[in-house]
Amino acid sequence: MRTDNAGVGIPMLPRLSRKASSMKKTSGFSLIELLVVIGIILTIAAIAVPRFLRTKLSANEVSAANSLRVMASANANYHSRFNRGYAGTLAQLGPSNGSCPSVGSDCADLLDTLLSGISPAAATPIKSGYRFTYYAPSAMPSPASPNNTYAVVSTPVIPNNTGVRTFCVDQHSVVLRDTSGALTTATAAGCNWAIGGTVAPIE
C-alpha cells in the first residue's frame, strides 16, 4: 500500500506475474493445431467407415442366406402337411391375419410376418437389405394340382451397398450363392443356377 500527499492509504493493484501473463497468451489451440486434429479425425474416419460398411454388408449377406434356409424348411413342412405340394406364395407360409383368420393352407404359420410379406405387406419382402422373390408354378396349389417345385431368390436392395452376393433356394433345399451378384432371377421349376465359376452351394 502507498499513501497520497494527504497520508491516505491507496491499495495497490496486484501485478500479473510474467509467467501468468505468458500462460494467458498461449492458452487454447492455434489454427495449425486445430487443422492437425481435424486431419487425424478425417484419417481415422476414412479407415473406419469403409470397414464398418464391409462388416454391415457381410452381415446382410449372412442374414439373407439364413432366411432362405428358414424359407426352405417352412416350405418342406408345408409340403408334408397340406397335400398341395409347395406353397404358391410366401404369404401362404405366414401366420394367420385379417384376410386369413385361421391357420391352414392359405396361412400355415410357418414363417414370421416379415419374411412372409404379411407385415409390412409386400409381395417381395425385404429383410436386412435383401429382397426375397418367390417363384412357383401356381399361386393357388391344390391336391389335384400341387406345386412340385418352387424357388426363392434373395438379392440386395441396393447392389454393392446393402450386399453383393445373390442367393437362391428351391425344392432341393440347398442354398446357392453367386459371388458376382449377376444372377438375380429363377424360375418356377427351381433356381436353375449352374454350379461352377461364381456359383456354389453353401455348406
Q: What is the 3-state secondary structure (H, E, C) of 151-203?
A: EEEEEECCECCCECCEEEEECCCCCEEECCCCCCCCECCECCCCCECCEEECC
Task: Examine residue 151 and state whether it is found in any structural domain, yes or no.
Answer: yes
Task: Examine residue 119 and state whether it is found in any structural domain, yes or no.
Answer: no
**Residue 160: domain span:** 31-83+124-201
- The number of distinct structural domains making up the chain is 1
Note the pTM of the prediction, 2 decimals.
0.75
**Band of residue 198 on the pLDDT scale cut at 50, 70, 90:** very high
Q: Which tens digit of pLDDT belongs to each residue from 84-132?
A: 999 999 999 999 999 899 999 999 999 999 999 999 999 999 999 999 9
Please report the pLDDT score of residue 77 as a whole number: 98
Q: Which tens digit of pLDDT belongs to each residue from 22-77?
A: 444 555 678 787 777 777 777 776 676 666 567 789 999 999 999 999 999 999 99
Whether 99 and 105 have beta carbons less than 8 Å apart is answered as no
Task: Examine residue 112 and state whether it is found in any structural domain, yes or no.
Answer: no
C-alpha grid cell, residue 33: 493445431
Task: Examine residue 101 and state whether it is found in any structural domain, yes or no.
Answer: no
Task: Examine residue 173 and state whether it is found in any structural domain, yes or no.
Answer: yes
Please report the pLDDT score of residue 5 as a whole number: 55
Task: Examine residue 21 and state whether it is found in any structural domain, yes or no.
Answer: no
Task: Examine residue 194 and state whether it is found in any structural domain, yes or no.
Answer: yes
Task: Examine residue 131 and state whether it is found in any structural domain, yes or no.
Answer: yes
